[in-house]
Amino acid sequence: MVVLITAALPALFAADTPDVRVVEEIAAKVNGDIVTRGELEERRTKLTQYLRTQGLTGAKLADTVKQQSADMLRDEIDSLLLVQKAKDLNIEVDADLNRQLAQMQVDSKITDTDKFHDWVRMQTSMPFEEYRDALRKELLTQHVISEEIGSRITIPEADLRKYYDEHKDQFMRKEQIFLSQIVISTEGKTPEQAAEAEKKAKDLAERGRKGEKFSDLARANSDDPETARNGGQLPPYPRGMLQKAIEDVVFTQKKGYVTDPIKVSQGFVILRVDDRYEEGQASFEDVREQVNEIVARPLMEPKVREFLTQLRKDAFLQIKDGYVDSGAAPGKETRWQDVATLRPDTTTKEEVASHQKKKLLWLIPAGYVNRPFQEANTAPAKPAKPADSSKPTEVPAPAAVVPKP
């Protein structure tokens, strides 16, 4: 049987092909992507569940859901346009994504990777991979907004320092080390091969010290594929999390220091100190970028809407009758075209399912759109910390950097 996804099948077409059935309804086409009725209904369900947790019931719940549902198609289109723009700008966020997930695992105090994935699923009602993908798209939209809008807003130095001085408690730090690694494995190798691996590790350490870009060396040479893809970047570690022999070296060195190859059970690891935070009050210079982002945010909100309107003007955008884009660009023709014009790559059930897994279910990053239910819609739900946070935390470090026993 042929299975189609479509906005509406003309009666004649349906009559001529009795073994064709509709499995999903397209609400809008946005360049090469689509928004489906099922996705909008899923958003509405999540909104209703969230509002119930906030104590809303009865007529007040129904009115709030109705009011916020009016912008749901707009928000889906916003998300698609921003992620598409990130692709056009060749923005990469894998390193930020892995660091954020690693920090989340540190905060959760769950050392087992599988258990951490289960915990994320229980906290967010999303499979880990789906949550990861949503978080990735959130970071992409943040980078687009920062690059296309934030970079054009200049805040006077005096205003930045004033905010810092009045909110110093927001910029307290714990002692942390930020590292990148290159792993040279000796697992399953003969003594002769292990000797060659050690020689290679020493050569790479020397090249790193002489100024070759450590991230490039890691991508080209590290035997740990997970961190190699990100230029060797590791999550931040507080003091006490790593083996003492490693901590005694890295916590005494400055940014840019490259260690000698360190022998570990898997082979050899070379570490670079990317940054180190002392415990206590962060200086204004250290958090200037963060302060600038906070102060600029209210100025960015109207500009974000203007930017999204321009993206709509430049986009191939079609909206089915019965659906309304509350963020429509004035004068933009978005009338629905005949079903025969649908791109083939949006018509199969399997590819629709794949499309839905890849979709970002939230809106613009929190803080950029001033509207109710902002946090619940703009970012993946941040899992709450486990109730028992008094136990010591050990996070499984990637590959060769192993937390102390």
* Secondary structure element (H or E) that encloses residue 182, with its range: strand 176-185
Q: Are residues 186 and 245 in the same domain?
A: yes
pLDDT-wise least confident of 21-30, 71-80, 248-257: 21-30
Predicted confidence band of residue 339 (pLDDT cuts 50, 70, 90): low
Which CATH number is 69's domain given?
A: 1.10.4030.10
Q: Are residues 229 and 184 in the same domain?
A: yes
- Is residue 236's pLDDT more than 60? yes
Q: Which structural domain range is residue 49 located in?
A: 1-156+283-405
Q: Are residues 7 and 134 in the same domain?
A: yes
162 within some domain: no
What's the total number of domains in the chain? 2
Across the chain, mean pLDDT equals 79
24 within some domain: yes
Which CATH number is 245's domain given?
A: 3.10.50.40
Q: Are residues 91 and 44 in the same domain?
A: yes
Work out the average pLDDT over 82-105: 87
Predicted local distance difference test score (pLDDT) of residue 110 = 82
Q: Are residues 58 and 139 in the same domain?
A: yes
Predicted local distance difference test score (pLDDT) of residue 242 = 84
100 within some domain: yes
**Which own/partner contact pairs does 342-347 have at CB distance under 8 Å and 24+ positions apart?**
342/6, 342/26, 342/29, 343/29, 343/32, 345/32, 346/5, 346/26, 346/29, 346/32, 346/34, 347/4, 347/5, 347/6
Confirm whether pTM is higher than 0.75: no
Note the pLDDT tens digit of each residue in 273-297.
998 888 888 889 888 988 988 898 8
168 within some domain: no
- Is residue 267's pLDDT more than 60? yes
Q: Are residues 201 and 271 in the same domain?
A: yes
Q: Are residues 18 and 54 in the same domain?
A: yes
Burial of 50 from C-beta contacts in 10 A (0-12 / 13-18 / 19+) = middle
Note the pLDDT tens digit of each residue in 193-227.
999 999 999 999 999 999 999 999 999 999 998 88
Q: Are residues 310 and 404 in the same domain?
A: yes
Predicted local distance difference test score (pLDDT) of residue 152 = 87
Note the pLDDT tens digit of each residue in 132-167.
999 999 999 999 998 899 888 889 999 999 999 999
